[in-house]
Amino acid sequence: MYFIASFRLSTVNPMLPPADRPRPGTATPAGGASSRLPPQPWRREPGRRRARRRRGRTGRRRRRRRRRYTSPSGGRCCAPSSPPSPAATRPWRAASWPAATGTWRYGRGRRGSGVPGGGPALPPALVFQRALNAYFDPPRGTEAAAGGAAPASADTGSCIDLTADATTSNAGVGSADSQQTEDDSSFSLITWNIDGLDLGNLKDRARGICTYLALYSPDVVFLQEVIPPHLSLLQMKAGNYTIIPGNIDEYFTVIMLKKSRVKLLKHEIIPFPTTAMKRNLLVVHVSVSGVELCLMTSHLESTKNHSKERIKQLQIVLKEMQKQSESTTVIFGGDTNLRDSEVTKLGNLPDNIKDVWEFLDKPQHCRYTWDTQSNTNLNAAYKCKMRFDRVYFRPAVEGGHFIPRSMDLIGLEKLDCGRFPSDHWGILCNFDVIL
């Protein structure tokens, strides 16, 4: 028995491109009506498309962050075929934001987040660094317009010049002092070992030191491990400060006095007779709001092996502090390299001399100023935390008084070069002035 099956042939030409083929149920090129065809792969039914769209909202499409581009004129369009550069997709990692190019954003972002076009908020440390770099760096093209070449890196060459990109002496540290109103009821001081003996990224780190001094604009600055290139940079950028160096060769200490607030009376350098590291005590007598003040800084002998010499130097410091007039407040700050056991061996401090950190009830957030675990500048294999940098004061018996109010650490943020300004944290002290 034979079964005969009849087929109704479609008049659709399979050789036609999809765009020229008739839809199911419409007239064929021959004029007839085609039979209902199965769904074609090139034609997606509306219902299926809507279902896919609904599924995509909760599936992986929802997690996919669509990349959009904003042109310089403000128009938005789909992303071009070429991928964006790292400077465009990660503006906080770019050296500068290009003004002539568009901005990229991923997803919706948060408006007002600090990144053009939305996106995640910038880390506070990077916002700080970019703002201060813009404050100090000369406009781009300044050197080219002047016919000069870009300065060489501070890391190379035997002659290091940190003033190659400096502008004027009033355009650096303390340049905004004229716009600030001096407060006679407070007094600020910074002491910091700036690690000038480390020539790695010296130029970037020196600029970072200047940015912190400009940010806090202290009345007095104590610096240790200053080298001649540092001194030249400070003399050029810190025009609003009187700079007194403890030496001018190799490395030394420096005291900076804000001209608008602190008046220099006299200064002297007291040598340490048996030092093997060319250390001394720099003493400066000043007047603040009509009140006489004696300021001292030093860099005591380094390393554990020189403990005996360090204790001798501390004894000289304490003796000089006690020798000053009782009507004068004496403040000493610097890199003492002291261990607590050494102070105990000395018999602790005299009764009339106070450790500011202990006077403020030993705040733990500013206890350690040399921390190889948090500070990676040395790349030390060992982990060590020490309170090397200290501030002592001897209050005046009569007349004006300087009472410690707060203490904080500075220099805790890495610079663009990937290093900290120094292997030491700086100390910022604020005092209340009672006239």
Amino acid making up residue 107: G
Q: What is the DSSP code string of 285-314? A: EEEETTEEEEEEEEEPPPSGGGHHHHHHHH
92 vs 116, 132, 212, CA distance in Å?
10, 14, 20
First to last CA, the chain: 126
Q: What is the DSSP code string of 216-280? A: H--SEEEEEEE-HHHHHHHHHH-TTEEEEES-SSSSEEEEEEETTTEEEEEEEEEE-TT-SS--E
361 burial level (CB within 10 Å; 0-12, 13-18, 19+): exposed
335 catalytic? Reply is yes
Contacts of 124 (CB under 8 A, 6+ apart): none
CA 56 to chain centre: 43
Q: What is the DSSP code string of 22-42? A: PPTTSBPTTSSBPPPPPPPTT
Q: Yes or no: say if 128 and 143 are a contact pair by the CB < 8 Å rule.
A: no
Order of strands, sheet of 329-335, starting from the edge strand that comes earlier in the sequence:
262-271, 280-288, 291-299, 329-335, 389-394, 354-355
Catalytic hit among 335, 371, 389, 423: 335
145 burial level (CB within 10 Å; 0-12, 13-18, 19+): exposed
Handedness of CA 352, 279, 163, 267 (dihedral sign): positive
Q: 348: which 2 tokens?
A: 């602790």
C-alpha span between 209 and 244 (Å, rounded) = 17
Provide the H-helix boundaries in 59-163: 60-63, 86-89, 124-136, 142-145
C-alpha span between 133 and 97 (Å, rounded) = 13
Produce one character per residue of 87-105: b if its CB has 16 or more CB atoms within 10 Å, e if not: ebbebbeeeeeeeeebbbb
Q: 330: which 2 tokens?
A: 């004496």
Q: 55: which 2 tokens?
A: 């599924």
Q: Which amino acids are annotated catalytic?
A: 335
